[in-house]
Amino acid sequence: MDVADLRGLALFDGLTDDQLAELLAAGTEVRVEPGVDLFHEGDPADFWWVLVDGALALRRHIGREDVVVGRMDVPGRWAGGFRAWDEHGVYLATGQGVVEGRILRVPAEALRERTDAWFPFGGHLVKGLYGTARSIEAMARQRESLVTLGKLAAGLAHEINNPAAAATRSVSALDKACTTLLSALGQLADGQITAAQFTALDKLRLELEPGAGLADPLTAADTELDISSWLTRHGVDRDWVIAPTLAAAGADVAWCERAADMLGDAALEPGLEWVASTLSAATLLGEVKEATRRISDLVTAVRSYSQMDRGSLQEVDVTDGIESTLVMLGHKLRGGVEVIRSYATDAPRIEAYAGELNQVWTNLIDNAVDAMDGTGVLRISTRAEGEQLVVEIGDTGPGMPAEVAARAFEAFYTTKEAGKGTGLGLDIARRIVEQDHGGSITIDSRPGDTVFRVALPLRPSR
């Protein structure tokens, strides 16, 4: 490798032949061979690598797999050397040869010496810019992650709290119902009810069904009043407890008359109380079952959203990820957001990083709800277009001015007031869609109709 090899690289515009020769003397020519690693992610960035010809793939370990996050395939592209300005600098990715070629390897210490000697002011600017930018982006990304995590945690806590509270109330009431049931059985035994009478009472109980009498509220209230009056006339003291349960299960005065004929006056109250408590217990068990099912569904949605216990790259049904995201953001949708789904039945499964795509849906849906200020229509659709799957997420918010839409995907650009956004959400979404999946993400915005269009290939390029 000689000065002529470096002279054609735009990176070295402004350097003299002597300076290029000095740089060559400090460095080493390294051959690029397909499949061979030149530097590794996380290792100290002690060398500056400048591509002369050939190509490298830049790979990062994400989740459980190595993912290509970029390429060095244009002469003059460079990587590493960060320890010239930061003693803690490490390689951000692993450089692996793809196409045979050559690369110039310069020690970071030599790079710093040349920078200080040739353009010291520029060296100070680079050092300051590197340190400041890295610090700001790290803090902003950490804050964005914490804010998102906090929103999801708060929403999930709210979602789980309702069924958990319902289950707690039902269990407490179930304890009382079981106590009443056992007490009634004891009173029936003391009253020397016969086996035939108890069997007949149980058959009467089986004619009733929890919730069967709740058709019309006015009719149900009248029935409850009639039963309560009947119980009072027959000397039943706890009519206010027994009547509502019997009426709710479909009993009427005629049913009570049959029970009275079969039990007699002495066993009437404990017999009806036993029937009412068994009906209450069945109702409460149903409520506990529904509450725990809801909690189980939420846990399943969280597992689907976070892609726990799954490989990073997998065949996925995108609608599953969208639906789990809607569950996670359910607390934001209840205020007045109508969700209209239009999922194509023939939409194919795609090979993707499901957990990362869920981050995309989270950012886009969260932004849409914020744009509508919590009230409006959220439209989500999927369809197949050739070798791509297209997902569109639209809202009825005020829309974006052209100048805002043009910059929406820029890192750190945000129109939200201070403290409410870092400007990284759409930048992260763009990187996931374009760099990790080889797709595209675009905006079509006008007042009352803003649509984010995500096109994903059925199989991402490796």
- Hunting for tokens 């595209």 — which residue is that? 440
Residue 448, sorted as left (phi over 0), alpha (psi -120 to 50) or beta, turns out to be left
pLDDT tens for each residue of 191-232: 778 888 889 989 999 998 887 766 677 888 888 899 999 999
Question: Could you tell me if 105 and 215 lie in one domain?
Answer: no
User: What domain range is 112 assigned to?
Assistant: 3-118
Residue 33: pLDDT band with limits 50, 70, 90: very high
Most confident of 28-32, 260-264, 363-367, 408-412: 28-32
* Cβ contact 397:368 at 8 Å: yes
Question: Could you tell me if 167 and 209 lie in one domain?
Answer: yes
pLDDT tens for each residue of 416-441: 554 444 445 687 788 888 877 889 99
The Cα–Cα gap between 296 and 362 comes to 21
Looking at per-residue pLDDT, the higher value among 271 and 420 belongs to: 271
Contacts of 413 (CB under 8 A, 6+ apart): 407, 423, 427
* Cβ contact 79:135 at 8 Å: no
308, pLDDT greater than 50 = no
Nearest-CA neighbor of 275 among 248, 301, 299, 302? 248
Most confident of 107-121, 261-275, 303-317: 261-275
Q: What is residue 155's predicted lDDT score, i.e. its pLDDT?
A: 65
Q: Choose one of 61, 96, 118: the last residue of a domain.
A: 118
Domain assignment present for residue 328? The answer is yes
Question: Could you tell me if 357 and 409 lie in one domain?
Answer: yes
User: What CATH number is attached to the domain comprising 387?
Assistant: 3.30.565.10
Question: Could you tell me if 230 and 259 lie in one domain?
Answer: yes
Question: Could you tell me if 263 and 341 lie in one domain?
Answer: no
Q: Per the structure, how many domains does the chain have? A: 3
Question: Could you tell me if 312 and 442 lie in one domain?
Answer: yes
With 0-12 CB in 10 A as exposed, 13-18 as middle and 19+ as buried, what is 368? buried
